[in-house]
Amino acid sequence: MPQELIRFIVIGALFGYFIGMFSEQPGIGALLGAILAVLIAIYNQINNKKN
Query: Residue 8: is it exposed, middle or buried by C-beta count within 10 angstroms (0-12/13-18/19+)?
Result: buried
Say how far apart CA 33 and CA 15 lie, in whole Å.
Answer: 6
The predicted structure's pLDDT at residue 1: 56
- Write down the domain spans for the chain: 3-45
Return the HEC string of the chain.
CCHHHHHHHHHHHHHHHHHHHHCCCHHHHHHHHHHHHHHHHHHHHHHHHHC
- For the segment 1-51, what is each residue's pLDDT rounded down to a tens digit? 577 777 777 777 777 777 777 777 767 777 777 787 778 878 888 887 776
The predicted structure's pLDDT at residue 51: 62
